[in-house]
Amino acid sequence: MSEPEEELQEERRDNTKKKTKKTKKKKDEEEKKKKKQDHEEQVEEEEQSECLVLRGIFKLGKKSHDVLLTRTRLTWTPIVPETPTGEASVLQTGVILLQDVFAVKVKRRRAAGQQSGGPVLGVTLFYGRRRGRRLEEDTLHLHNASAEHTHTWYNTLKELLTGFSHRPRYVKVFINPSSHKKEAVYIYREHVAPLFKLADVRTDITVTERKGHALSVMKECRLDEYDGVVCVGGDGSVAELCHALVLRAQLDADSPVKPVKPALPLGIIPAGSTDVVSCSVHGVRDPVTAALHIVLGHRQQVDMCSFSSLGQLVCFGFSAMFGFGGRSLARAEKKRWMPSSRRREYALVKTLARLRPEDCQLSFLPAKKPNRDLFGHRDQDQDQDLDPEPEGEDSWTTNQGLYLSISIMSIPCLSPHTPRGLAPNTSVANGSAALIAVGNTSRSEFVKHLKRYSGSSGQFSFSFVETHCVSAVKIRPRSLTGWSEEESEEEEGDPRTTPIIQAEGQAFPWNIDGELVEIANEVVIRVHPRLITLYGEEVDEAESTVSCSCI
Ligand SMILES: Nc1ncnc2c1ncn2[C@@H]1O[C@H](COP(=O)(O)OP(=O)(O)OP(=O)(O)O)[C@@H](O)[C@H]1O
């Protein structure tokens, strides 16, 4: 190239650079302007919401109070007559945020057995009060015998509550009557239905009759009528409904391969034995807390995994265990006649006694760090990105070896047994999963590792345990002994037990969300960030109530 030509090219490069810089500057300025505008709008909204809507006198208990209502809160201060000396007394004020109120009713005096009518006594507010991680139902009675005054307050409060558009008005409820101690129907009737009735949440209930029943109803029903779906059952039922919601969203969007985020959130009323999904978004295994999260419309986006083998989707779910966790569940399933806690302890002890590693090839794709802005908020565009980016073969890390257990969890899997979760190194919506691979070691060292789960930390501080933050995992078993072969040696099999998928030839037991799935070939697990929305919130630790004494 001649000198003038080179100079010309240099000049052109400079011009392009300047142009790009200029466009970037313009874009930055536009963004700044938009942020400023948003901020001003937010401040205006806050100012408006703090404007007084109503002011009146009500009796709370026996004392008269000055009650103020804004768009966001109700506050009350006792009315104290002036003392002759003019001394001021300390006034006990109270406050309730309207975001915690789920119902308002007119209170009336009624004789025993009287169903309607009766003189007006005032208004009653029903709200959720926090006690630790629990939400409890509480009431506030505002007494005033004037029907006109009461109705003005009732109508205004009702109107303000209607403004919470995230709260469901009509939900599809699935109850699994066979969950755990067969108490799901009772739990729903006693603890949940009365709260739904108070909050004017209408319901359409299906009591499931068999495995797969909820899935087939979900495929057919008119989902656009509902504002949410509610599952009363254990982790298996929750996984079936989450799977059904995603499949239905795929069907509706005509997207046979790519997972689609369902429009409806799922509420979980825990009625199983461990309930790790419900615990991970409620922090406690409590039907009332769960129901209050639903009626108050608290929503949490949650990462999910897809499990596939030979290019075919097996299911969507939150957690999977291969090796010890899979074999232990397979053993427990063969003793279905035992009570569930005994069955689990028996299977745990027996699997420990016959502890054996899996020879397999483990590959994983490390997760990318989520993009966060200066304030720690996640990039909104990431919420659209439900499918992990296509990856090249060289991005995968592959190890070949003997493993006692491999777990992949897209949520921390909190439970009263493991308050900090089976996977404390992940969270419900960080867009990745925790891979916990336990290499071959002695039985006593493995037991030490397991025991530390019930404590607060240290379960990963062993040379044979490795943990990774991943967006995909592949497990290709190489052992010659599949599950059925080992079981026939033990002669304890129950031929009536049917796993979800029965693969031809040698199959390996997987524990996917507490359900036994037998798969013979390589399993590919992919994380789909924030694929599902659950009623609840992010919690870092569960309330601990029990401890396991079997090991
Ligand atoms: N009427 C029914 N009879 C038998 N199984 C059912 C019925 N309804 C649903 N199922 C299936 O039962 C499986 C297990 O349900 P669930 O997880 O609720 O109970 P669980 O296994 O006792 O609880 P956990 O998983 O907490 O131990 C689910 O896969 C669900 O599809």
- The answer to whether 219 touches 247, Cβ cutoff 8 Å, is yes
Are residue 342 and residue 227 in the same domain, yes or no? no
Are residue 101 and residue 174 in the same domain, yes or no? no
Asked if residue 513 has its Cβ within 6 Å of ligand 1, the reply is no
Are residue 155 and residue 177 in the same domain, yes or no? no
Q: Does residue 255 belong to any structural domain of this protein?
A: yes
pLDDT for the residue numbered 34: 75
Distances (CA, A) of 518 to 158, 321, 484, 521, 522: 52, 12, 10, 10, 12
What is the maximal distance between C-alpha atoms in the chain?
A: 105
Cβ contacts of residue 419 below 8 Å, gap of 6+? 456, 541, 542, 543, 544
Of the candidate ranges 93-102, 141-150, 380-389, 520-529, the one whose mean pLDDT is the lowest? 380-389
The pTM assigned to this predicted structure is 0.84
Counting the structural domains of the chain, the total is 3
**Mutation test residue for ligand 1: of 176, 232, 276, 546, the one with most atoms within 8 Å of CB:** 176
Tell me the sheet residues that pair with 471.
none
What is the pLDDT confidence band of residue 18, given thresholds at 50, 70 and 90?
Answer: low
Are residue 219 and residue 274 in the same domain, yes or no? yes
Are residue 187 and residue 203 in the same domain, yes or no? yes
Asked if residue 509 has its Cβ within 6 Å of ligand 1, the reply is no
How far does residue 515's CA lie from ligand 1's centre (Å)?
A: 9
Are residue 182 and residue 61 in the same domain, yes or no? no
Tokens found for residue 334: 């063969």
Asked if residue 274 has its Cβ within 6 Å of ligand 1, the reply is yes
| Number of the ligand 1 atom closest to the C-alpha atom of 500 | 29
Are residue 61 and residue 202 in the same domain, yes or no? no
Are residue 146 and residue 283 in the same domain, yes or no? no
Q: What value, to the nearest 5°, has the Cα angle with vertex 332 and ends 326 and 337?
A: 155
Q: Does residue 358 belong to any structural domain of this protein?
A: yes
Give the structural domain span for 340.
Answer: 303-370+395-529
Are residue 271 and residue 317 in the same domain, yes or no? no
3-class state of residue 209 by DSSP: coil
Are residue 218 and residue 132 in the same domain, yes or no? no
CATH of the domain at 146: 2.30.29.30
Q: Does residue 7 belong to any structural domain of this protein?
A: no
Q: Does residue 13 belong to any structural domain of this protein?
A: no
State pLDDT tens for residues 260-315: 999 999 999 999 988 999 999 999 999 999 999 999 999 999 999 999 999 999 99
pLDDT for the residue numbered 375: 40
For residues 502-506, average pLDDT: 52
CATH of the domain at 274: 3.40.50.10330
Q: Does residue 408 belong to any structural domain of this protein?
A: yes
How far does residue 461's CA lie from ligand 1's centre (Å)?
A: 35
Q: How many residues are present in the chain? A: 551
Rounded to 10°, the helix 483-490/324-333 angle is 50
- Tell me which range, 23-37, 138-152, 365-379, 455-469, is most confidently predicted by mean pLDDT: 138-152
Cβ atoms within 10 A of the Cβ of 243, count?
24
**Mutation test residue for ligand 1: of 181, 183, 211, 497, the one with most atoms within 8 Å of CB:** 211
Task: Give long-range contacts, CB 8 A cutoff, 24+ apart: 453-459.
Answer: 453/417, 453/418, 453/422, 454/417, 454/418, 454/547, 454/548, 456/419, 456/420, 457/420, 457/424
Are residue 248 and residue 338 in the same domain, yes or no? no
Final residue belonging to a domain, choices 297, 321, 345:
297
CATH of the domain at 481: 2.60.200.40
What is the pLDDT confidence band of residue 338, given thresholds at 50, 70 and 90?
Answer: confident
Are residue 319 and residue 448 in the same domain, yes or no? yes
Q: Does residue 30 belong to any structural domain of this protein?
A: no
Alpha helices in 85-232 (DSSP H): 147-162, 184-187, 193-198, 213-220
Q: Does residue 123 belong to any structural domain of this protein?
A: yes
Burial 171-181 (b: 16+ CB within 10 A, else e): bbbbbbbebbe
Q: Does residue 280 belong to any structural domain of this protein?
A: yes
Final residue belonging to a domain, choices 252, 277, 297:
297
Q: What is the DSSP letter of 137?
A: E
